[in-house]
Structure 1
Amino acid sequence: MARKPLCFVLMPFGIKSAGGDKPINFDAVYTDFIKPAVEEAGLEPIRADEEQAGGIIHKPMFERLVLCEYAIADLTTANANVFYELGVRHAAKPRTTVLLFAEGQGRLPFDVAPLRAMPYSIGVKGGPTKKKEAIKGLVTKLKAARKNVDKDSPLFQLIDEYPEIKLAHEKTDVFREQVAYAEELKAKLRKARKLGRDAIYEVELSLGELDDEEAGVIVDLFLSYRSVEAWPDMIRMFDRIDVALRATILLREQYAFALNRNGDGDLAESVLLELIDQRGPSSETYGLLGRVYKDRWDAAKAENKEAKAKGYLKKAIEAYRKGFEADWRDAYPGINALTLMHVADPADVRITQLRAVVEYAVKRKIANGAADYWDHATLLELAVLGKDQHASNAQLAELLPHVREVWEPKTTAKNLGFVMDALPGDSKDRIWIKEIIEQLLES
């Protein structure tokens, strides 16, 4: 009988928590999902064993990682051993490595998020669900790996002549030239941002195909368009960049941001909900989703559709609250939830508690020296919500030097406008709040 090609499986063992809403039984994942799929693909599975002395990977492990024709790595839980083994595999083999992760069990770390990984679902008991569908998907991946000539190792993809590369003088010079090229482009973009959208577009035209450019340059270009509110350019550009980079959380979030600002809230909502479903909750993703619902509330309010407006206001508050609960250190979704709760019902019993947590979070961040525009904007909104004119003017003075992009003070002004509009028509607080709004818009 002909020998079947070996497939080495890198994954955690036993029952582990992955940061999601339920633990995962990785032994069941292997026996009920991965192993049957490997065998159906015509391969022989070998699972990484636990015979390690003091956590040191032994010689047979290295041999399997380097010599096995195929490998599967389950990235769920960001297990240290799995990631080390995956690094060894990617350094040794240009192709035939398939990546997996359990849906809804925390984000993939930044370094591997752009890599193409297959999601699978977990049931309430921690074992795999939709097993037939999952097995079929993995079989397809493995069969494609057997035929595919494309490289799946980032090292082999990104570095020419790897692993034959030598640390010769000419190679280091090439590397220095590439770094200098990227820095030169970034300097051009810094200058272009001050001149406006057309100047940024001129820089883009000077580039070749966007999917051939260094990732840092692409992200800088993408966010440069954001800085001048060039939403259509962000949307256009998103479709032109490399698929792997397009799959990153940062790019998908900012794409949704641009879609919503450009008037396509439905697609923005779809992108964000899919991201939450695939990568789990985060303060940024839920914060952007809250903005989608807040804009819908504002539009319905302007059309005097009271019931519809009330529904969207509730959805916006809940999205922002979920964002703040995902990461208490990020005050941005917290202050948005708090502001909208004041608008919806100033007597809401949750306001006092939420305010205390938001205020503590932002003050700790500022004390740690990591503050940005949004942190100072949060303190301004807190002062306005507290109807403290003196503190509000003081926070405005602190805020204005931190403005980076033209849309930032516009967003803060709009939030303060919601607060002002919710006050009685004869309230004296409306006068000084309006003055602050005007100064924000002028900045």
Structure 2
Amino acid sequence: MNSPLVVFVAMPGSNMGDHATLKEVAKVKKFLYDPVVARLENELGVEVELRIEKDKYSGGVIYRSMFGEALEAPVYIADLTGANANVYLELGVRWALRDNVTVLVCQSVEHDVKFNVAANRVIPYGIDPGQLQDACARIVRAILDGIEKGHPDSPVREGAGVISVSKAELDQLRADIARLHEERGDELVAAAMNATHEDRVMYLKRALENNPVNFRAQLHLGMSLSKAGDYETAIAHLGQAVSLVPDDGPAWRELGVAQSRSQKLDDAIESFERAVAIDPSDADALSSLGGVFRRKSRNFYDRTGDQDWVTLRDAREAYARAEKINSKDTYPLINVAKLDLLLSRGEPDGQASALARFQDLEDLTRYTAKTEGEKDPWKWLDLADTLAVNGDGAGAVKAAQRGINSLEPAHRASSVEAALPTLRDLVVTNCLPADRLPSVQQLIGEYEKHLR
């Protein structure tokens, strides 16, 4: 069922003024506005609702509903009879808020039409029956023309290039725009996942222009920049990601990776611990935590020339926890073996045990590189490390080349920078047998070529 067409009349509440010939409001309604309604219903074939809130002007009080009708009423009649100040105020509000349909009437053009309103068309009416009939016809025609043509009849808004909408409609429009921006952002994020590094960054930045609070765009842009070595910018985007979704463990882990590589080691530890607290089974976060402890220990060695045995053991413990979660993941397995070598310096039995672990890992790392290396080039780097420690320098270089070439060009330098220090640790701490040093140094030399 269609809603009725509302015709609102703003008019004096009781006193129509000294110059009115039809002085009683009830009679104005009966002889003018009721016939207007009847003719409109006949012309339009719809129900018409007449609203006259004459009491809203009594005592000079202006109720909130006055301004609501000024905006919302499809048809608005301002009866200027008596030059009532409140009617003029409401007419001004109407003209400011709505383009059409607004019709001006009065009983005395000479006395009732004041100020700048005098420049507008006003329909006169009075007590004479013929004048009432003529006014009724003209009012109906003005309303019908306004509904049909829809042109602005407000001197304030005509040519102003603005429109008015309700708060509810505006809120809905904003929600729709936000939804469209979000959908557009999601489309760009999806496109980014299959793009090269440069295009991926471009798509993700465009997604954030559409919707700065797109969690996935912030996360993946931070990850891409981190892999390319732009750690500070990566930290900014990953920080935004964890602020948007504080309980996302992988986002905290990736933030920790960027912080660790930029030497913000205490911040990185906090981020990795947050990731593990959210998901205790996140082996990657535990391995990365081990990496931070390795960096802290290395910094201590660079300053003092001595090993920080406590921090090295913390690193081994983190890698060992990751190993327990996934005993087939070569990354924590290899790092536990490397740390066993570092911790065994001066202990022949410990060194032999660690070297035996590397020998045992060769078949697993070779298999993993062949089966998973296409998706994760780091599996080839794990094989390269294993072969180097086992004395096969040529095989190590070949595996490293396979892994590096599988990485996106923009990510190669930062990946090599991450892989090199653990190998250098084995050399500078003299924890390797003399016959294994050449193969490890050969692999280090291959990695260093990609830093130039």
> What is the TM-score of this pair, normalised by structure 1?
0.52
Distance 1:189 1:395 in 2: 23
Give the aligned partner of residue 210 of structure 1: 212
Distance 2:380 2:255 in 1: 25
Aligned partners of 1:294 and 1:312 also within 8 Å:
yes
Once superposed, what is the RMSD of the aligned Cα atoms? 3.7
Seen in structure 2, the aligned counterparts of structure 1 residues 296 and 174 have a Cα distance that, compared at 3 Å, is closer
Contact 1:380 1:396 in 2 (8 A): yes
TM-superposed CA distance for 1:247, in Å, is 2.6
The one-letter code sitting in structure 2 at the alignment partner of 1:387 is: G
Counterpart mapping for 1:386-397 below 5 A: 386-397=390-401
Contact 1:210–1:242 (CA under 8 A) maintained in structure 2: no
* Amino acid aligned to 1:235: I
**Taking structure 1 as reference, are residues 242 and 292 closer, same or farther at Cα in structure 2, changes over 3 Å only?**
closer
Say yes or no: does 1:299 pair with 2:299.
yes
Kindly name which structure, 1 or 2, has the bigger radius of gyration based on alpha carbons: 2
Q: Which residue does 1:331 correspond to in 2? A: 330
Rounded to whole Å, the distance in 2 between the matches of 1:286 and 1:350 is 24
Higher helix share: 2
Choose between structure 1 and 2 for higher RCO, CA contacts under 8 A separated by at least 6 residues: 1
Residue 207 of structure 1 aligns with an amino acid whose one-letter code is E
**Are the equivalent residues in 1 in contact too, given 2:184–2:210 (CA < 8 A)?**
no
What are the equivalent positions in structure 2 for 1:37-52 lying under 5 Å apart? none
Q: Given the superposition, is the C-alpha separation of residues 190 and 270 from structure 1 closer, same or farther in structure 2, using an over 3 Å criterion?
A: closer
The percentage of aligned residue pairs carrying the same residue is 12
What TM-score do the two structures reach when normalised by structure 2? 0.51
Residue of structure 1 equivalent to 2:444: 437
- 1:292, 1:303 → 2: CA distance? 17
* Alignment CA distance shift 1:363-1:235 (3 Å): same
Helix, strand or coil at the partner of 1:229: coil
**2:236 aligned partner:** 236
Counterpart secondary structure, 1:280: coil
Contact 2:252 2:274 in 1 (8 A): no
2:388 — aligned with what?
A: 384
Q: Distance in 2 between matches of 1:201 and 1:302?
A: 41
The match for 1:125 is none
Q: How many residues align?
A: 266
Which stretches in structure 2 are left out of the alignment for 5+ residues? 1-174
Distance (Å, rounded) in 2 between the aligned partners of 1:394 and 1:202 = 35
**AA at the equivalent of 2:198:** K
Per the alignment, residue 408 of structure 1 pairs with 415
Q: Structure 2: how far apart are the matches of 1:228 and 1:257?
A: 12
Contact 2:289 2:318 in 1 (8 A): yes
Report if the CA contact (8 A) 2:221-2:237 is conserved: no
**Deviation (angstroms), 1:397:** 3.6
* Deviations 1:299-353, CA, capped at 9 Å, x for gaps: 111112636x121112111211111111112111111111121122163265366
Q: Give 1:253 deviation, angstroms.
A: 0.1
How far does residue 284 in structure 1 lie from its aligned partner after superposition? 0.4
Query: Secondary structure of the residue that 2:349 maps to in structure 1?
Result: coil
Determine the C-alpha separation between the residues in 2 that align with 1:365 and 1:430.
25
Q: Equivalents in 1 of 2:208, 2:262: separation in Å?
A: 26
**Residue type of the alignment partner of 2:427:** M
In the aligned structure 1, how far is the partner of 2:299 from the partner of 2:314? 14
Cα-to-partner distance string for 1:42-98 (whole Å, 9 max, x where unaligned) = xxxxxxxxxxxxxxxxxxxxxxxxxxxxxxxxxxxxxxxxxxxxxxxxxxxxxxxxx
Q: Secondary structure at the match of 1:343?
A: helix
Q: Would you say 1:421 and 2:428 are equivalent positions?
A: yes
Match of 1:17 in 2: none
Q: Are residue 260 (structure 1) and residue 260 (structure 2) matched?
A: yes
Say if 1:183 and 1:274 are closer, same or farther in 2 by CA, change over 3 A: closer
- Measured in 2, the distance between the counterparts of 1:185 and 1:285 equals 24
Q: Which amino acid in the other structure matches residue 326 of structure 1?
A: I
CA apart distance, 1:182: 3.8
Q: Distance in 2 between matches of 1:228 and 1:254?
A: 13
